[in-house]
Chain A
Amino acid sequence: MEKEIFEHHLNTNRRHFLGKMALGFGGVALGSLLMPDLLSGKKVAENQLPLGLKHFAAKAKRIILLVQNGAPSQLESFDYKPKLNDMFGQDLPPSVRGDQKLTGMTAGQKSFPLVGSKFGFKQYGNAGTWVSDLFPNIAKITDDICVIKSMHTDAINHDPALTFMQTGAQVGNRPSIGSWFSYGLGSENKNLPAYCVLLSKGKGNGQGVYSKLWSNGFLDSSHQGVQLSASEDPILYLNNPNGMDSKTRRTMLDHLASLNQLGYEEFGDPEIPAKIKQYEMAYRMQTAVPEITDVSKEPDHIKKMYGPDCMVPGTYAANCLLARKLSESGVRFVQLYHQGWDQHSNLVGEMQGQAKDVDMASAALITDLKQRGLLDETLVIWSGEFGRTNYCQGKLTKDNYGRDHHPRCFSIFMAGGGVKSGISYGKTDELGYNITENPVHIHDLHATIMHLMGLDHEKLTYKHLGRRFRLTDVHGHVVNDILA
């Protein structure tokens, strides 16, 4: 035996050596097959999980995002700063302001007189959460919510800030957060869009909302938000026209689908199958939507809870009630916008009206979900796009003032869906200008929301223009401290 092995070694000549090297290269080649992008010089693919599946067990199944468009003042809602009242009219110390850039509206102002809330604050609930007198109903449910007082953002004007809040980028053309969920988790109820949008308008100074905010960006167009209108037909053109019955509609759709299929086979445009899918969903929506939008069967005290305005289509209260119905029916992401929170002047007057619009219905939505046992699986978020300055914009009088945009800190609240309840998170300095504890960036908020929905914000990506995009771009940390 030894002899044979020895001979074998002796017989190793150039030919054998080369033959063996070939085997070695074979091993390398086999290995490289497992690394698709290694030899092509491209960046290595991330370990992507199949779409439509959670990355891990989720706390929340659905989200209702209540966008307070225009940026409500944190100083008149949740961030109580009595020091500002003491320092009424005094100039904001430049050391506090630091290098913060200002908007064109106050950059030219000669002084920055501090002004405290005209409205009183009280502590509520077991945790003693501070809430202003403008929000008496939200004050009653502080044990169910988590107030974050240390939100901050990058943008200082409405459009970029709102776009940032919605898409994780200040420039347009990125998918909205609801679209990312539709893409990552799919639809819960396949008879309804995964992402619905409802608009309402308060009497306060308003800022525009536009469909780019619920756009699918570069994702498949089936992920875009569907706007429900306040009219008798919440989804336009959903009903069959006169003379078209359901059977004819079905036959028409079947033939249309086969024509579209031919078109797809010829051109391979991925938008064609998306279109076929959407026609099919619209067909099923014809029965699903009337069931949901009919609020007449809601018990009377529900109407008392949301306020009688919930019977008037197009109001915030009606949208909150509809949001609950949509969410309960498995719409993954429902987004409300309430316009009118941009109080550059006459803050005292306008904010009362705005708060009256949203206070009762926002609180009712959370209570309503809770009493149905759905709050644990539904995440409700109430948020503007940035905060407002602690100094007055324009003329400061004893009775009235205005506040400019402030990206360095603002307050939001969340409820349900795996978020700790009855806590306040983060702190700002005593003048309410800078964050002193636990800052939460918009990217962090996004990462946290995704985490609650069972998605790893670093793993949900989409390849576009040669790179992989994420909602949180290259940022974002899950705020573990607020997870229940």
Chain B
Amino acid sequence: MKKSVPFFLNTLFFLHIFLAFLVVFESYLEIPFWLQPLGRMHPLLLHFPVAFIALMVLLNLFRKQIDTTSFEKINYFLLLLTAFTTVLATIMGLLLSLEGYESELMTLHKWIGIGISFAVYAMVLTYLHKKVYQILLYTSFVGVVFGGHFGAGLTHGSHFLMEPITSAAVKKMDENTPIYTAYVAPILEKKCTSCHNPQKSKGELDLTNAESITRGGENGEVWLAHNPEESLLLQRVALPLEHEEHMPPEGKLQLTSREIELIESWIAHGADTEISYALLKNEDRLKQLVAENWLKGDSEKEAYTFDFVDTKLIDDLNNPYRTVVQKSPTSPAIEVTIYGRSSYKAEFLTDLAKIKEQVIYLNLANLPLDDNSLKFVGELKNLEHLVLNFTEVTNEALAALVANTKLQSLSLAGTSVDIAALKYLKEIKSLKELFVWNTQMSDADISQLVKELPSATINEGYIPDPEEKMNLTPPTLIGERNIIKSGDRISLGHKMNGVSIRYTLDETEPNEKSELYKSEITMDLQGERSKTVRAIAYKDNWLPSEVSTFIFYDKGLVPDGLEVVHPGILSSYTGEAARILNDGAKYDANTYYYSKFYASFNSKPLIAIADFSKSNPKIKEVVLSCGIPRRAKKSSLKYVEIWSSNNKENWTLLKKLNLATELNMDKLKDISVKFPESTAKYYKVVGQPNTESTLRVNQLFFY
């Protein structure tokens, strides 16, 4: 004993300095998660000091019955033990409080606890001054009684102690509860009565009960029935926040507009403290307001009785195709979504057996589910929200969901269920929302659902107006190449299923009687340089599309190779003339002149050498397909020259066209250079851009 006294004293000193430090710097503290269990041991430890202090009081009351030496020994030892457990419990409590329990009750409990801790330590220090010691002891005891009561209030709720007695008086809120009792009084209690109560009646006003409210305060009556504009309460609330007379004062919890709206319409209705929802008429604004904003809100309160799942388990259950999240850090409820039709495995669902109790939200949309999957879903007894959109779920599979007694929202959009499912849906008594858009249910089926599921909202979704017809979008060409030779096949397409495409090849407007497009069109140029395909799309219940026109150009003779002397430019970068001039795609002269589909030349000319040394065909024409800026007024080309050679060294000029002064822009789109038939091995095409102009060529043709 003798030896342990200094140890105890030193430890106590150390712990109290530590406590004092924590108290002073409380708002700066950051509790690492690994210290949190220490805080949570507070409820475990606090019973020791409570019992010890009570024991000391008893011991001191009956000290006469004990011999002095024993008493002193026991008493001092007990005191040290008390001081030690008190300070520990207080430090732990303080750590626990930092996890975020903010309330008035908390503040009271905290300061009483800290007070007791220092009082008991003071008892240790003043042990020899019996009078001080006695006073401190009894004060601490009173502190323990109150501190303990407030602490119990924190964990069990402030009405815990008297609840069995008072609860008989608290009526259940329903449609017959007066609006005042159900909604108005609680607002006042939450936002006003901390200052306007019988004990602390600021402005001589007490807002805790209907009678004292009718009495009013020093500024008169609180409200005037039927006259919200003249009601003092609403006037004060409506003042700007910084106004001196604004209520509640700046810094206190303010009324929300929802609350103001309710009080306002309740006063407008007559400020009747007895009127209840059931007694209001349908057209009363107050009734509508309560129905929309207040009745609903009440029923949605949720409290889960099941336990939290280990976060490690949640982490393990997450994978790239399954997202498992806790609803919030303070709620044990879990929400699960599974993704990816092609990657789906049945285990993705059945793995959830480990958290069966906690799953309240499950989204299985678009997954290939079988009936067994739903049997598993039926085992999730706390499930509230289930999404089965566009799954293979059947009527019979829904039988399993009858076991989901908490299910409130069920989405069946895009499934094949029909009205036969009603017999199971009727059994899900908790159901509040049902989504049946795009199922096999007819309008009549849906009215039957509405009738037989009165407590659920049935959402049938968008119903297209059969009268309303819209234009289809025009058919599109699949693939971008439009340079062909006879015998090539082309494909048309449409994004919408079930569309029939009709087309013509003779430039006439296609109609219902035109050729029906099947899979491909085999093109025959019939000696022409180009061929036009015109196509239109038809579908039942839709208006026909606009006609789309696709022009295909004769490929002509293809050189074995094409090289350019200058690569050209692409905006401010180096171009890719060699590839572009020979890429098999020709673009509309106006639309694409600026783009990367054109080989462009300004300071340096186009000089392209085509190699026909292997095929060695007869050639008598070269066509340059050019791009023309939309508002161009002058030719961008000074001249074109076609040269021929058999060895790429000695070139013979076949033809030169001067175009510097050409003003007809249409003639500049496809520039044809004809010359006497030649069988040379190489041809050189030179295009000299006009002064300060950019020449744009997208394809070279040889015929």
B73 is an interface residue with CB less than 8 A from chain A? yes
Whether B320 pairs with A190 at a CB distance below 8 angstroms is yes
Contact indicator B30/A34 (Cβ below 8 Å):
yes
**B461 & A370 in contact (Cβ 8 Å cutoff):** yes
- In the complex, A8 has a CB within 8 A of chain B: yes
| Interface residue B28 (Cβ < 8 Å from any Cβ of A) | yes
Q: How far, in Å, is A453 (CB) from chain B's closest CB?
A: 12
Q: Complex Cα distance A312/B546, Å?
A: 14
- The residues of B that contact A376 with a CB separation of less than 8 Å are 409
Task: Say if the beta carbon of A405 comes within 8 Å of chain B.
Answer: no
Decide if B231 is an interface residue (CB 8 Å cutoff). Answer: no
A residues less than 8 Å from B21 (CB atoms): 27-28, 31-32
Give Cα distance in the complex from A6 to B18, angstroms. 26
In the assembled complex, how far is the CB of residue B419 from the closest CB belonging to chain A, in whole angstroms? Answer: 18
Chain A min CB distance to B18 (Å): 4
Quick check: is B118 within 8 A (CB to CB) of the other chain?
A: no
Contact, CB under 8 Å: B17 / A27 = yes
Q: How far is the CB of A345 from chain B (nearest CB, A)?
A: 21
Q: Is A20 an interface residue (CB 8 A)?
A: yes
Say whether B459 contacts A373, CB under 8 Å: yes
Within 8 Å of chain A (Cβ to Cβ): is B364?
A: no
- A450 to B576: give the CA distance in the assembly, Å: 49
Q: Which of B244-268 contact A (CB under 8 A)?
A: 256-258
Select from chain A the residue with minimum beta-carbon distance to B411. A373
Does residue A272 face the partner (Cβ distance < 8 Å to B)? no
Interface-side segment among A160-168, A301-309, A392-400: A301-309
Of B8-16, B46-54, B563-571, the one with at least 4 CB within 8 A of chain A: B8-16
Are the CB atoms of B339 and A189 closer together than 8 Å? yes
Q: A57 on the interface (CB 8 Å rule)?
A: yes
Task: Let me know if B339 and A371 touch, CB within 8 A.
Answer: no
One of B14, B72, B76, B326 near A53 (C-beta < 8 A): B326
Which of B160-168, B170-178, B464-472 is found at the contact surface with chain A?
A: B464-472
Contact call A454/B328, Cβ cutoff below 8 A: yes
Q: For the complex, what is the distance from the CA of A339 to the CA of B585, rounded to whole Å?
A: 30
A480 and B260 alpha carbons, distance in the complex (Å) = 13
CB distance from A293 to the nearest CB of B (A): 12
Inter-subunit contact B497/A296 (CB<8 Å): yes
Whether the pair A307, B341 counts as a contact (CB closer than 8 A) is no
CB-contacts of B480-531 with A (<8 A): 494-498
Contact A287 B69 (CB under 8 A): no
Check B76 against A27 for contact (C-beta < 8 Å): no
Cα A329 to Cα B390 in complex, Å, equals 13
Q: Are A34 and B32 in contact (CB under 8 A)?
A: yes
A8 touches B72 (CB 8 A): no
Residue ID in chain A nearest B460 by CB atoms: A371
In A55-82, which residues have CB < 8 Å from any B CB?
Answer: 55-58
- Contacting residues, chain B, for A58 (C-beta < 8 A): 328
Given contacts A31-B21, A54-B329, contact A20 B32 (CB under 8 A): no
Tell me the nearest residue of chain A to B329, going by C-beta. A53
Given contacts A1-B72, A38-B25, is CB(A308)–CB(B329) below 8 Å? no
**Of the residues B18, B319, B470, contact of A31 by C-beta under 8 Å:** B18
Give the size range of A's interface with the partner: 35 or more
CA distance A53 to B329 in the complex (A): 7
Bound: A5/B124 CA distance, A: 10
Q: Which of B366, B460, B494 has the largest count of A CB atoms less than 10 A from its CB?
A: B366
- Docked-complex contact A20 and B10, CB < 8 angstroms: yes
Q: Which of B9, B340, B433 contacts A287 (CB 8 A)?
A: B340
For the complex, is B444 an interface residue (Cβ under 8 Å from A)?
A: no
Query: Which residues of B are found within 8 Å of A481, using beta-carbon distances?
Result: 256-258
A137 to chain B, nearest CB (A): 11
For residue B330, CB closer than 8 A to chain A, the reply is yes
Interface contact A372-B495, CB-CB below 8 Å: no
Number of A-B contacts (CB under 8 A): 185
For the complex, what is the distance from the CA of A302 to the CA of B321, rounded to whole Å? 27
Q: Does A465 interact with chain B (Cβ within 8 Å)?
A: no
Answer yes or no: A4 CB below 8 A from chain B CBs: yes
Chain A residues with CB below 8 A from B13, complex form: 20, 23-24, 27
Query: Chain A interface secondary structure, helix, strand, loop or mixed?
Result: helix
Q: Which residue of chain A is the closest to B365 with respect to CB atoms?
A: A328
Whether a CB of chain B sits under 8 angstroms from the CB of A30 is yes
Who on chain A is nearest to B77 by CB? A1
A275 surroundings in chain B (CB, below 8 A) = none
Say yes or no: A31 contacts B22, CB within 8 Å.
yes
Residues of A within 8 A of B25 (CB): 31, 35, 38
Given A27-B18, A31-B25, A308-B473, also A57-B337 (CB < 8 A): no
Kindly supply a per-residue 1/0 record for chain B positions 401-442, scoring 1 wherever the CB is within 8 Å of any chain A CB and 0 otherwise: 000000001110110000000000000000001010110000
Q: Is B675 among interface residues, defined by CB-CB distance under 8 A?
A: no
Contact A4 B2 (CB under 8 A): yes
Give the distance to chain A from B364, nearest Cβ to Cβ, in Å.
12
A56-B330, A291-B342 as given contacts; A1 in contact with B76, CB under 8 Å = yes
Contact A54 B328 (CB under 8 A): yes
Assembly CA distance A303 to B438 (angstroms): 13
Residues of chain B from 68 to 85 with CB closer than 8 A to chain A in the complex: 69, 72-73, 76
CB-nearest residue of chain A relative to B494?
A311
* Contact A188-B323, Cβ < 8 Å, known A287-B342, A305-B462, A311-B473: yes
Distance in Å from the Cβ of A332 to the closest Cβ of chain B?
11
The reply to whether B18 and A28 form a contact with Cβ atoms under 8 Å apart is yes
Q: Is the CB of B256 within 8 A of A373?
A: no
- Chain B's nearest CB lies how many Å from the CB of A267? 28
B306 interface residue (CB < 8 Å to A): no
Q: Tell me if B299 is interfacial: C-beta within 8 Å of chain A.
A: no
Residue A300 is within 8 A (CB to CB) of chain B in the complex: yes
A290-323 contacts to B, CB under 8 A, are 291, 295-296, 299-305, 307-309, 311-312
A39–chain B nearest beta-carbon distance, Å: 11
Interface centre among A27, A367, A371, A438 (most CB of B within 10 A): A371
> Is the CB of A265 closer than 8 A to any CB of chain B?
no
Tell me which residues across on chain A come within 8 A of B690, comparing CB atoms.
none
Report whether B339 and A8 are in contact in the complex, using a CB–CB cutoff of 8 Å.
no
Interface presence of B128 (CB below 8 A): yes
Taking the nearest CB of chain B, how far is it from the CB of A315, in angstroms?
A: 10
* A19 cross-chain contacts in B, Cβ below 8 A: 10
In the bound complex, CA of A26 to CA of B12 (Å): 12
Judge whether B128 and A2 touch: CB under 8 Å: yes
Question: Which residues of chain B are within 8 angstroms of A296 by Cβ–Cβ distance?
Answer: 495-497
**Looking at the complex, which of A41-49, A96-104, A249-257, A351-359 is the stretch in contact with chain B?**
A41-49
> Which one, B328, B365, B459, contacts A371 given CB within 8 A?
B459
Interface: A36 (CB within 8 A): yes
**How far apart are the CA atoms of A44 and B30 in the complex, in Å?**
9
B323 contacts A330, C-beta separation under 8 Å: yes
From the candidates A1, A27, A47, A56, name the one contacting B69 in the complex (CB within 8 A).
A1
Tell me if B459 and A370 are in contact (CB < 8 A): yes
B437 & A372 in contact (Cβ 8 Å cutoff): yes
Residues of A close to B31: CB separation below 8 A: 34
**Residues B29 and A368 in contact, CB atoms below 8 Å apart:** no
- A8 contacts B6, C-beta separation under 8 Å: yes
Give B337-360 as 1s and 0s: 1 = Cβ < 8 Å from A's Cβ atoms: 101111100000000000000000
A to B CB contacts below 8 Å, 21 in the list: A5-B127, A23-B13, A26-B17, A27-B14, A35-B25, A54-B325, A57-B327, A191-B321, A284-B320, A291-B342, A302-B462, A304-B470, A311-B494, A312-B495, A329-B339, A330-B337, A372-B389, A372-B411, A372-B437, A373-B413, A438-B257
Give B contacts to A, CB under 8 Å: 2, 5-6, 9-10, 13-22, 25, 28-32, 35, 69, 72-73, 76, 127-128, 256-258, 319-321, 323, 325-331, 337, 339-343, 365-366, 387, 389, 409-411, 413-414, 433, 435, 437-438, 459-462, 464, 468, 470-473, 494-498, 541-542
Closest 9 pairs between A and B when the two form their complex, measured CB to CB: A371-B461, A27-B17, A373-B411, A27-B18, A1-B72, A31-B21, A371-B437, A311-B495, A57-B328
Q: A1-B72, A35-B25, A291-B342 are in contact. List 20 more A-B contacts (CB 8 A).
A: A5-B5, A8-B9, A19-B10, A23-B10, A27-B18, A34-B22, A35-B29, A53-B326, A54-B327, A57-B331, A190-B320, A288-B340, A295-B495, A311-B496, A312-B473, A312-B495, A372-B435, A373-B411, A373-B413, A373-B433
